[in-house]
Amino acid sequence: MPVKSPRKVASRVPVNGSGAAKARTEKSNTILRAAIEVFARAGYFNAKVAEVARAAGVADGTVYLYFKNKDDLLISIFNTMMDVFIAQAQTELAAIDDPREQLRHFARLHLSSLEQDRDLAIVFQVELRQSTKFMEQFSETKLAEYMKILREILERGQKRNVFRAQPNSKLVAKVIFGALDEMATNWVLSHNNYRLTSMVEPLMNIFLNGIGK
Amino acid sequence: MPVKSPRKVASRVPVNGSGAAKARTEKSNTILRAAIEVFARAGYFNAKVAEVARAAGVADGTVYLYFKNKDDLLISIFNTMMDVFIAQAQTELAAIDDPREQLRHFARLHLSSLEQDRDLAIVFQVELRQSTKFMEQFSETKLAEYMKILREILERGQKRNVFRAQPNSKLVAKVIFGALDEMATNWVLSHNNYRLTSMVEPLMNIFLNGIGK
Amino acid sequence: MPVKSPRKVASRVPVNGSGAAKARTEKSNTILRAAIEVFARAGYFNAKVAEVARAAGVADGTVYLYFKNKDDLLISIFNTMMDVFIAQAQTELAAIDDPREQLRHFARLHLSSLEQDRDLAIVFQVELRQSTKFMEQFSETKLAEYMKILREILERGQKRNVFRAQPNSKLVAKVIFGALDEMATNWVLSHNNYRLTSMVEPLMNIFLNGIGK
Amino acid sequence: MPVKSPRKVASRVPVNGSGAAKARTEKSNTILRAAIEVFARAGYFNAKVAEVARAAGVADGTVYLYFKNKDDLLISIFNTMMDVFIAQAQTELAAIDDPREQLRHFARLHLSSLEQDRDLAIVFQVELRQSTKFMEQFSETKLAEYMKILREILERGQKRNVFRAQPNSKLVAKVIFGALDEMATNWVLSHNNYRLTSMVEPLMNIFLNGIGK
DNA sequence: TATGAATGAGTTTTCATTCAT
DNA sequence: TATGAATGAAAACTCATTCAT
């Protein structure tokens, strides 16, 4: 979900076109950023491949040298950005000892990644939900990696005895993801008129303590 | 989100086509049910109005006597089913005193409504997320009523001193909705191979007690 | 191959769209005639479906109500016209007793059918040869019926002892068809500057007597 | 129509690209053979220039160093192979005295040339018939030379009094070509499950003696 | 109300060809 | 000569919607 700022992505991330591992070229990244911008502005279905090409400064046909089709653009945005998020999360979490702090950091990373890239946030929270086909793939590959990181934080906390053992980590991970996702969607639909990351502390409060008295 | 079983809906719910209050006729309901079935099977974008008409046993043009356009079919499904859910929730919650039990009942109603109507669940969890336009309307009207019910349960609990006063009810409501929504989506994408309502108790556990120790 | 004049066809022939028996409607025939004219003028590959629609005085989409796709137009022209030719041949041959006269009549009918409809001749002799796929179907269904009529004439003549028994009727039929086809193609490519039917007698002379002395 | 086996062609034939006389280089021949193979397999219209290039082991652009465009590939195949056939026919016919034997040899050469090169046969009998433009050129240049050879055999036979003077040699040549062409097309479409050259004797029988009694 | 034949706008994608290296 | 990345023109087809009956 979360993602670094565009330019950084372009320069440091090796990514997958349609899932196949293939080094992102300079041009490929340019096209992907153009797609994010155009999809965010016009919506995936209204967006024309020709618009993406123009925004990227290439000919229409060039898009198809790097992406199989329009769908592949959308999927590649997801895969590319998830890779960035996952890599960043893994690196940064490794430096944190307290599972509660890890969880807080994870939530902050999720939300700040989207807050820093409004176009990407729109694509992730709105456009990416469009096809069943996508949703089904979505819930497997990259999202599974995302969930794994979250579950590992929770399981580490259970072993450390700072998180309760029940309900199980898988369910808790879904609840936390559901909440973060809902926060992000609300922020996007509210036209970003508040700091998305300001949600981190209240969320942690709920997750850690519950609402009961 | 939640919704009664098809036939009941058809026979007892007055609903809005594209927001305009208009009494649902017998035929109008037939078309709406056909749309749910077709959209669930084929996906909203792939579904053809002609298919919906055929499934409903009417001519193509007849669909347009009851619904403004294809989009209106989708929106009407949402509005109709939300009205059913809201009415049912209000009625049933009125009979419960303990806010914790109200919350539990609300969650159960949300999930069981979807569990009882697989086609509708697909439409709600997958197809309905498709257009920004829809998502924006979505987050206003009916969803606001849904959220209001949830917030009222929470606020009643705060007054009764069974729920904590912080974080505020608006945020908590979103978190709970986000979690329920995520559970439902997971269930749909997993091809319904478990009881969705079995999630109610674990969720209540998390919401009420948190995951911290 | 041969075919009656356009208007007659439209009014009296029940024909097949893409092989499926379906009564040709008035509009269907209008579109088919338009296709023959446009294909003859522009060539099948250069011809645009939009051109065919305009020539027929209908909207682009209407073409697709009657024909599955552009290919189906070409195949339907072939099937329709072959049906006309075959029906006419069978009727007229039944009234002739002498196998030699039957053969002469068959050749005349083949060539005059094309001579009477220049556009159709172009489509049959040039455009129809374009795809392997077509060629393969071509050599089966309707062409087999055409060949059968020709073989029956030959076999009748063998029984009557006016034609030699060797080589066998199947081969002779192919030779005669090959010759008629070559005559027609030459005539089309020569821009029709002579009477195609003037070839009938010389051809009969060769077929019946051979070139040897 | 007929053609020698690939390698011989490649090594001994000077041919014309789009009619312009230009010596065939080694690489040029490699590309031409690749084109025959690809066109036979995929069909001219489906075949991609890139496929031809790959089959020839050269870069896409290299094809354009030797051939003006995709059409030129097809035309060059025709011209090259016709040159081979014509040269071979002239040489071999010079050694035969009896016009009937010359005719027999010519027919055998036509059919065996195709029988020996299945890919080429497909290209000649199916793919080459595709464009009016080609058909029109086709009926002029090389085919005229082919016809001339055939006519000369016939005229020699008329002078020698072994062939009848009527119908004239031009028409008879067309009939014979039409029959040979039809035999070849039938053989290609029947997937070559018999010896094409086995047709020579029965054809000679028909041509020389006619079918009349 | 109901029909369903007709409309026609609208866009992805392919691939022959070019040209800077 | 040879390369192959980049170009960009070009059209079939779909399907939501209308409207005469």
Helix (H) or strand (E) holding B53: helix B49-56
pLDDT digits 0-9 by tens, B96-153? 999 999 999 999 999 999 999 999 999 999 888 875 566 566 557 888 999 999 999 9
The distance of D26 to chain C (nearest Cα, Å) reads 30
Q: Compute the CA torsion angle D70, D75, D79, D81 (nearest 10 deg).
A: 70
Q: Which nucleotide is nearest to C60 (CA to C1')?
A: E8
pLDDT given for residue D140 in this prediction: 73
Band of residue A62 on the pLDDT scale cut at 50, 70, 90: very high
pLDDT given for residue C134 in this prediction: 64
- Across the range C127-141, mean pLDDT stands at 67
Question: Buried b / exposed e across A43-73, counting CB within 10 Å, b at 16+?
Answer: bbeebebebbbebbebeeebbeebbeebebb
pLDDT given for residue B136 in this prediction: 62
- Across the range A130-137, mean pLDDT stands at 61
Residue C151 identity (one-letter amino acid): R
pLDDT digits 0-9 by tens, C4-34? 222 222 222 233 333 333 456 789 999 999 9
Who has greater pLDDT, A132 or D18?
A132
Domain ranges of chain A: 6-209
Decide: C and B in contact? Rule: 3+ Cβ pairs under 8 Å. no
Band of residue D7 on the pLDDT scale cut at 50, 70, 90: very low
Instruction: Please check the confidence at residue A201 and state whether its pLDDT lies above 50.
Output: yes
| Strand E bases with any atom < 7 A from protein Cβ | 1-20
Q: Is A32 left (phi over 0), alpha (psi -120 to 50) or beta?
A: alpha
- What does A69-82 look like in DSSP terms, one character per residue? SHHHHHHHHHHHHH
What average pLDDT does chain C have?
85
- For an interface test with D, give the residue of C175, C181, C196 to mutate (most D CBs within 10 A): C175
pLDDT digits 0-9 by tens, D140-174? 778 899 999 999 999 999 999 999 998 899 999 99
Instruction: Please check the confidence at residue A17 and state whether its pLDDT lies above 70.
Output: no
Task: Determine if strand E comes within 7 Å of the CB of A133.
Answer: no
Q: Which two tokens stand for residue D47?
A: 């075949």
Instruction: Please check the confidence at residue D14 and state whether its pLDDT lies above 90.
Output: no
What does each C-alpha distance from B86 to B35, B45, B149, B203 come to in angstroms? 22, 28, 8, 21
What average pLDDT does chain D have?
86
Among the partner-chain residues D189, D199, D210, the one whose CB lies closest to the CB of C206 is D210
C175: chain D residues, CB-CB within 8 Å:
179, 182, 203, 206
pLDDT digits 0-9 by tens, B73-104? 999 999 999 999 999 999 999 999 999 999 99
Q: Are strands B16-17 and B20-21 parallel, antiparallel or unpaired?
A: antiparallel
pLDDT given for residue D8 in this prediction: 22
pLDDT given for residue B13 in this prediction: 32
Q: Compute the CA torsion angle B85, B86, B92, B98 (nearest 10 deg).
A: 120
pLDDT digits 0-9 by tens, A139-148? 578 889 999 9
**How many interface pairs between C and D have CB atoms less than 8 angstroms apart?**
141
Q: Is C210 left (phi over 0), alpha (psi -120 to 50) or beta?
A: left
pLDDT given for residue A131 in this prediction: 59
- Distance (Å, rounded) from C-alpha B119 to C-alpha B141? 23
Between CA B27 and C1' E2 the distance (Å) reads 12
pLDDT given for residue C135 in this prediction: 56
C100: chain D residues, CB-CB within 8 Å:
212
User: Can you tell me which residue has its alpha carbon closest to the C1' of nucleotide F15?
Assistant: B48
pLDDT given for residue A142 in this prediction: 87
Q: Tell me, which fold does domain B6-209 have in CATH?
A: Tetracycline Repressor; domain 2 (1.10.357)
Per cent of chain D over pLDDT 90 is: 69
pLDDT digits 0-9 by tens, C65-102? 999 999 999 989 999 999 999 999 999 999 999 999 99
Among the partner-chain residues B43, B122, B182, the one whose CB lies closest to the CB of A131 is B43
Chain A residue closest in CA terms to B126: A132
Band of residue A2 on the pLDDT scale cut at 50, 70, 90: very low
Q: Which two tokens stand for residue C193?
A: 């500057």
Instruction: Please check the confidence at residue A24 and state whether its pLDDT lies above 90.
Output: no
Among the partner-chain residues B162, B163, B174, the one whose CB lies closest to the CB of A182 is B174
Is the CB of residue B45 less than 8 Å from the CB of residue A45? yes
Q: Which of A128-142, C14-28, D82-96 has the lowest mean pLDDT?
A: C14-28
Task: Determine if strand E comes within 7 Å of the CB of B30.
Answer: no
Instruction: Please check the confidence at residue C107 and state whether its pLDDT lies above 80.
Output: yes
